[in-house]
Structure 1
Amino acid sequence: MKKIVYIRPGDIYVTPAFSRIIESKDLLNDSSVAIYVIQWLDSEPSKSEEGITYLNFKKPRGLKGLLGWLWFILRNLWSIAPGYVHNFSFHSWFPILLYKLFYPKSVNLFYDCRDYFGWSFSLSPLTKKLSIWMDRRIASLCKQIIFPDRNGFVYFNTQSDKYTAIPNTVTDFLANKEIIRPDTGKNIRLFYAGYLSNDRNIQSIIEAVKTHKNLELHIAANFISNQFDQALLEDPRFVYHGKLTHQSVIELMLECDYCLIMYNADLENYRLIQPTKFYDSLMSNTPYICAEGMVALQEHCGADWPNLCLPYGDVNAFANLTKPVVSSKNRELYEQKYEYNTVLAEIAKVYSKYLNH
């Protein structure tokens, strides 16, 4: 019996990487595999369902909770004695490495690196260097390392075959459907999803919409931060939609002219990034606007592409914005390279090597 443990400090259900692995390898139908998920939830009890055993840590967040979480991981690893440990988070490595220290040949480690922790803009330079150094040392002990874009090869300073870029693509909600984009009138509808973060050009975007009267800003986010005062929210050209399901996000994108993906490329982690919004744009055939310096997204701007690349932090860059050109190139790129089942097949190849069959 092959025992696989997945570890993530948070709700594993919202981690696309986890569901993609299960779907790509069809592990639930493999009677020789036992699947365990160790996760940090605030209230939900441990349970077993649909072939997976969920072991849920329920203590409050904070230093005391973190120490308890690390002990919870180690205790369950010793109890389960897995041959494979699949980790999703930099913060969970200590108990995993301690377990491997005692069982070096009987356990294989797999690192699904969704976030490059050492490139966080909020860390001090010394902390960044130390974090990247630790990540690289830990990765050298792993059988396979997966990251979501080409940033990973720079971050880990490698092109080794055990380091693999797997696109963080999205399910095709529009398969075999006609993509209908309604007439948005004279206004240009801009769509912003995710954190209202200053390193994602939000302040310049707000000022641009205030300044240029033909712009609308539609926002899908968990909460409105202090960039928005009540008067701004009462302006009909600023529309807050709150937290939406993924399918609702796609439906809203179809009603907008451009999706905004304007990250600060002066921060190293954003130069080669391909965030989920990029794949949402391709799948829904929605034109996007990226910031200059976002190399991976700029590749699909200009010429006959509907996508645009504008200077970061420049309010006037939006002054001459026009309706996007009619094009199906985004959707064609999704179908050719990033279609969900195509990416699942790529994950299956990596995972087969990891499981040695």
Structure 2
Amino acid sequence: MKKVVLIRSNPVSPDPPVEKAANTLIKSGYKVTVIGWDRDRDYYSENSTLELADGCADIVRFGIKASFGAGFRGNLKPLLTFQKRLKEWLGKNSENYDIIHAFDFDTAAVASFAAKKYKKKFIYHILDFYADSHNLGKLRPLIKKFDFSIINNADVTIICTEKRKKQIRGSKPKKLVAIHNTPDCKVSENAPRVLSEKSCPDKIKIVYVGVLVETHMIEDIIEFVGKNPDKYEFHIGGFGMLESYIAQKAEEYPNVFFYGKLPYENTLSLENDCDLMVALYDPVVRNHRYCAPNKFYEAIMLGKPIIMANNTGFDDIIRENNIGITVDFSKQGLESGISALAERRNEWAEMAERENALYNKQFSWRIMAQRIKRLYKDLDR
């Protein structure tokens, strides 16, 4: 039995890309270990079990306190500590894995070194291209060059959309595969009901569950919904820098609901009970022009109209397929977009049909799982 270690710089509680890859590999007969970074508490390491749909993976978490959204400089010291512990673990356990599958640059640098030293296969999975997703200042050219060297040395490089080929132009991957971060499950009939009992059936429910940072227009949506209490509700889940602010606003406004951190099944349940989904990213940030938001994939799977900023991610797909609306990344653009999509309520059912067809034809996890199985099979040759 081949043994794989998946590495991510968050606690994987949850982390859909890691969990879906792990489940697919377990189902294919691999022994899987996951390594994550718990940023909430300080401890050396904890071992536990990650329960998945088709089996279990061992998970090792390193506890090093840090802040989500604090940026490269704000988290540099904790990051270096995480990488040191990761390096030690990969060395001490080099007989317990055959393949290293590292997610993003902050794990890949150490993983690439270990793969070469211990003669292991190495997969570099790029969810966010580091040089374009962090404020690196004068260090950007150096980090980008280093990142390209990791890509060039990896046995396989995974990008999350075909668009990202442009983003890594200049690198020379040995093998390049696009794996979209699309959901691998439907909302089951037995899924827990998450939607607040205080929610009003007649109001339009906007939902966002994810990392709670300032660049996603969460504050602007709260302000807009707060000014229109008779028509809209905003349902928010997740974690990040804005947690305290959102909790305060949920106390202040009766039509703003905050659920905190949610398991993925509960995330899908909440989104399924709402009407409109948002995936708003500032196009000034280079990485956002190529972003592949979970919210997009969840929306097309669930059949929910989606609001996305112009010049980001899948804005062209939304317009071409008429499955939502794209807006300028501004308060005025946001408010106009929500109002316009609300006025098209009689079209939502048709949008849902187009979204489901698009999901099944191009983006279903069934398609992505086959790509993962194929690339792993090719590694064994």
Task: Please report the TM-score for the alignment, with normalisation by the length of structure 1.
Answer: 0.81
Q: Is the 8 A contact 2:49 2:56 kept in 1?
A: no
Q: 1:144 to 1:198 in 2, by over 3 A?
A: same
- TM superposition shift of 1:114: 2.2
Q: 1:267 to 1:151 in 2, by over 3 A?
A: farther
Measured in 2, the distance between the counterparts of 1:51 and 1:309 equals 40
Q: 1:38 to 1:244 in 2, by over 3 A?
A: closer
Task: Choose which of 85, 91, 95 in structure 1 pairs with 2:100.
Answer: 85
Q: 1:98 to 1:283 in 2, by over 3 A?
A: closer
Show the counterpart of 1:169. Answer: 182
Q: Is the 8 A contact 1:169 1:338 kept in 2?
A: yes
Task: Choose which of 202, 212, 227 in structure 2 pairs with 1:211.
Answer: 227
- TM superposition shift of 1:151: 4.6
Q: 1:242 to 1:191 in 2, by over 3 A?
A: same
- TM superposition shift of 1:231: 5.8
1:4 pairs with 2:30: no
Q: 1:44 to 1:330 in 2, by over 3 A?
A: same
Measured in 1, the distance between the counterparts of 2:320 and 2:204 equals 19
Of 151-160 and 305-314, deviating more is 151-160
1:129 pairs with 2:141: yes
Measured in 2, the distance between the counterparts of 1:243 and 1:95 equals 29
1:311 pairs with 2:328: yes
Deviations 1:192-241 (A, max 9, x none): 22123221122322232233442221111236535447465332221222
1:322 pairs with 2:333: no
Show the counterpart of 1:336. Answer: 361
1:264 pairs with 2:300: no
Measured in 2, the distance between the counterparts of 1:51 and 1:221 equals 24
Q: 1:184 to 1:232 in 2, by over 3 A?
A: closer
Match of 1:249, SS state, is helix
1:353 pairs with 2:378: yes
Show the counterpart of 2:239. Answer: 222
Show the counterpart of 2:158. Answer: 146
Q: Is the 8 A contact 1:189 1:258 kept in 2?
A: yes
Q: Is the 8 A contact 2:154 2:174 kept in 1?
A: no
Q: 1:67 to 1:312 in 2, by over 3 A?
A: closer
- TM superposition shift of 1:141: 0.4
Match of 2:7, SS state, is strand
1:276 pairs with 2:302: no
Q: 1:243 to 1:186 in 2, by over 3 A?
A: same
- TM superposition shift of 1:148: 1.4
Of 125-134 and 81-90, deviating more is 81-90
Measured in 2, the distance between the counterparts of 1:63 and 1:274 equals 25
Q: Is the 8 A contact 2:300 2:356 kept in 1?
A: yes
Q: Is the 8 A contact 1:257 1:323 kept in 2?
A: no
Deviations 1:164-207 (A, max 9, x none): 11110102324899xxxx99755322112212322112232223
Of 138-147 and 212-221, deviating more is 212-221
Match of 2:92, SS state, is helix
Alpha-carbon RMSD across the aligned residues, in angstroms, is 3.5
Q: Is the 8 A contact 1:40 1:69 kept in 2?
A: no
Instruction: Please list, as runs of the form range in 1=range in 2, the aligned pairs for 1:294-309 lying within 5 A after superposition.
Output: 294-301=312-319, 305-309=322-326
Q: List gaps (5 residues or longer) in structure 2.
A: 67-77
Task: Give the share of equivalent positions with the same residue, in percent.
Answer: 21
- TM superposition shift of 1:332: 1.6
- Count of residues paired in the alignment: 344
Task: Please report the TM-score for the alignment, with normalisation by the length of structure 2.
Answer: 0.76
- TM superposition shift of 1:60: 6.1
Measured in 1, the distance between the counterparts of 2:219 and 2:49 equals 44
Greater RCO (Cα-Cα under 8 Å, separation 6 or more): 1
Q: List gaps (5 residues or longer) in structure 1.
A: none
Deviations 1:42-80 (A, max 9, x none): 553378997866555456663773364144134225x41
